[in-house]
Structure 1
């Protein structure tokens, strides 16, 4: 049975380290998703915002249209950023989503991050909480994998500073 593990990171470095460790532990890129708040003006085009550390407005990830990845923030996570894109979410603004969740969020644009999480079994109330964390600038890591693997994902998240780690 497939389950979902979700956690919140305060920094991109924590999230990047956790995802790297998960990849080294055998998690595939189609099991790991990242959601982060984007810079103003970037939604849908990769933009040139100035709210992130690498200065290009895309948290180090190129848009889906570019078809490439950068070596920067979260984009250094190998194939994970291949599905990355900037999305405009009503009430939330521009976000960057990498991994399988990107499609869920874009497909449920009116439901935003919470709507995408609901599709993966996260209760609506918790989904709204996690969406609020992204809105505050935190980074959401979501792993959807076989139930035998989710315990390891949760452990890795916690070891790397994730808060509010839950399994559903």
Structure 2
């Protein structure tokens, strides 16, 4: 049975380090990242660390909002969410938000087992400019995912 570990980051650097550490611990396609795209730019930096480049360059993925994170998970894409504005999502969770144009982020999170009230909370955190990380994984990997997130400064770490 799978569960979702969800958290927020107040900085891009923290989120990038957490995602990198998760990948080093064997998490690949389970990692999803969602953040506001303040610039409206959605080009993904193919020279980011994910793609073997030397560094994460400024102003490339989501106008620098996510830097290399956008390439760290499959399915990166951008969309406009009413009441939230432009959002970039990377990873399996991005597919959930393709139908979120009317239901918002919270509605998409319920498909991952996040209760509606907590989905609304995380949507609010996105509005404030935080980055939301979600890892959908097997029960036996949940504590590892949560531990890695916390070790990199994640806030609001929950398992559902």
TM-score (norm 1): 0.80
* Structure with the higher fraction of residues in helix conformation: 2
Give 3-state SS (helix, strand or coil) of 2:59's partner. coil
Is 1:74 the counterpart of 2:69 in the alignment? Answer: yes
Partner of 2:54: none
Is 1:112 the counterpart of 2:104 in the alignment? Answer: yes
1:37-60 deviation line (CA, Å, top 9, x unaligned): 102444xxx27xxxxx93357145
RMSD between aligned residues: 2.1
Deviation at 1:23, TM superposition (A): 0.6
Unaligned runs of 5+ in 1: 48-52, 63-71
Counterparts of 1:76 and 1:85, CA distance in 2: 10
Counterparts of 1:120 and 1:59, CA distance in 2: 28
Partner of 2:86: 94
Structure 1 runs (4+) greater than 4 angstroms displaced: 59-62
Q: Which moved more, 1:137-146 or 1:108-117?
A: 108-117
Distance change in 2, residues 1:117/1:136 (3 Å): same
Partner of 1:138: 130
Partner of 1:39: 38
Residue 144 of structure 2, aligned match among 131, 144, 152: 152
Kept in 2, the 8 Å contact 1:39–1:57? The answer is no
Counterparts of 1:100 and 1:76, CA distance in 2: 12
Unaligned runs of 5+ in 2: 44-56
TM-score (norm 2): 0.84
Deviation at 1:126, TM superposition (A): 0.4
